[in-house]
Amino acid sequence: MFEVGFGPSHNCEGTNRREFIRVGSLGLAGLTLPTLLQANAASAKKKEPVDNLSVIFMWMQGGPSHIDTFDPKPNAPSDIRGEFSVIPTNIPGVQISEHLPMMAKNLDKYSIIRSGYSYNGSHGVADAYMLTGWRFNPSTVYPTYGAVMSRELGYRNGMPPYVQLGNSIDQRFGGGLPGYAGSEHNPFIIQEDPSKADFSIDGVSLPNGLTSSRFGRRERMLQKLDNWQKKIETKGNDVGAMNSFYDKAFSMVTSPAAKRAFDLSQEPVKVRERYGMNKFGQSCLLARRLVESGVRFINVTMGGWDTHANNFKTLKDRNLPTIDQSWSALLEDLQTRGMLEKTMVIWLGDFGRTPKINSAAGRDHWAGSTVFCMGGGGMKVGSVIGKSDANAEQPVTPPIQIEDIAATLYTILGIPLDKHYVAPDGRPFRINLNGKVVNEILA
């Protein structure tokens, strides 16, 4: 199913509110109009954004355990170390979890940041924060990375700039949404499981149950309501932006090129099996096909990482084998096709998990330490950046936060960090505030 979702979301915190009341305030990012004009004039003198790069962003909703994946502590006490052993990677001296053997053989295609830190330890807020590089503010929905790429770079080869695969993003506080970048930069959400035999984008589902046939009737009706629409738009309503989005959505799902991109039956059976015949694996394969077709930013989502109980069983039986097979296949496939240098692949989740194991054989939310993995797109690979302490509780090297990851992403894409957007209430915001480029990962 293709949709733009705004529904409720559930998590271990027991919340399912449809939205958070947003109250206008200037905030730290607010600027005077003269300052905004001056900043944008300065940005205009800088180089144009890079047009030939794409981003595959892997969002692990729930918060993966850093200590059981890419920052193991084999010498820590057993109630911290956990049940897993470590294995060497193809980079001398670097070890990761024993349940990531294929990723261990492919560390020459990505790098690990082990000094990650998140001030946040709450679901929903995490989706808003980690997917924008902006700390949560109830008065503002900040634009996600895909929306910024959509706005700055636009459509390529007639394909939508921003596609989300799966629905494992909590949107209550704006996670994964365009915010003040504008509704026309919403993600195209594909909820269906691409590993199923009947997967296609023909069965389009838009908000409020709108089908493709009803959408066609709606298009014709809107032509007769142009005058009314213009009156609404002059009052600051977002109808015009959403109509633009729907127009492009309809064009996409009726486009032969788009249908080819989503047709996984064109892939050899061996290739599909290498990625894994499951939702995440086929989503990774689909992400590669979407990059080839012109999509700029693909958010591949996977839930099930909120392991308060049975952490080791869940990771061993499901989560780690799944990402190990699919992610390594994606990196190898991109490299074989000569696409890795032009495709950034980023992996992260809500936050880390408690180093100390709880009474339910699980790990709870932990903001003190986490990991980020980044590769491709001309970034430095095969390295470990930063370090956490002996028990993986805190970074012992300068902490790297999501603001820094966002700054690095935008810098690689050639998007000036002092670029400003204006919110509907007239407030100007930089696309990145206080982020520091992670120079160690720049090739």
Residue 427, in any domain of the structure: yes
Residues 174, 176, 181, 186: is their CA dihedral positive or negative?
Answer: negative
Whole-angstrom CA distances from 115 to 70, 72, 146, 243, 411 are: 11, 13, 25, 43, 20
**Stretch 274-281: mean pLDDT, rounded?**
98
The count of structural domains within the chain is: 1
The DSSP line for 55-100 is EEEEEETT---STTTTS--TTS-HHHH-S--EEE-SSTT-EEETT-
In this structure, the number of other CB atoms found within 10 A of the CB of residue 270 comes to 7
Residue 296, in any domain of the structure: yes
Residue 10, in any domain of the structure: no
pLDDT digits (tens, 9 = 90+) for 346-357: 999 999 999 999
Domain of 159, CATH number, reads: 3.40.720
CA 311 to chain centre: 23
Query: What H or E segment, with its residue span, contains residue 224?
Result: helix 212-224
CA separation for the pair 194, 264 (Å, rounded): 8
Q: Are 415 and 152 in contact (CB under 8 A)?
A: yes
Say what the pLDDT of residue 18 is.
38
Residue 250, in any domain of the structure: no
CA 191 to chain centre: 15
Residue 14, in any domain of the structure: no
pLDDT digits (tens, 9 = 90+) for 132-178: 999 999 999 999 999 999 999 999 998 999 999 999 999 999 999 99
Residue 69, in any domain of the structure: yes
Say what the pLDDT of residue 48 is.
77
The more confident residue out of 276 and 16 is: 276
pLDDT digits (tens, 9 = 90+) for 76-100: 999 999 999 999 999 999 999 999 9
- What are residue 280's phi and psi, to 5 degrees? -70, -45
CA separation for the pair 410, 49 (Å, rounded): 9
Is residue 222's pLDDT more than 90? no
Is residue 231's pLDDT more than 90? no
Residue 354, in any domain of the structure: yes
CA separation for the pair 287, 55 (Å, rounded): 9
**Stretch 226-230: mean pLDDT, rounded?**
49
Pairing of strands 111-116, 384-385: parallel
Residue 331, in any domain of the structure: yes
Which range marks the domain in which residue 45 is found?
Answer: 25-200+262-390+406-441
What confidence category does residue 14 fall into, taking pLDDT thresholds of 50, 70 and 90? low
Residue 148: how many CA atoms within 13 Å on its side-chain side? 27
Task: Give the angle subtended at the CA of 39 by the CAs of 36 and 41, to the nearest 5°.
Answer: 110
Residue 158: how many CA atoms within 13 Å on its side-chain side? 12
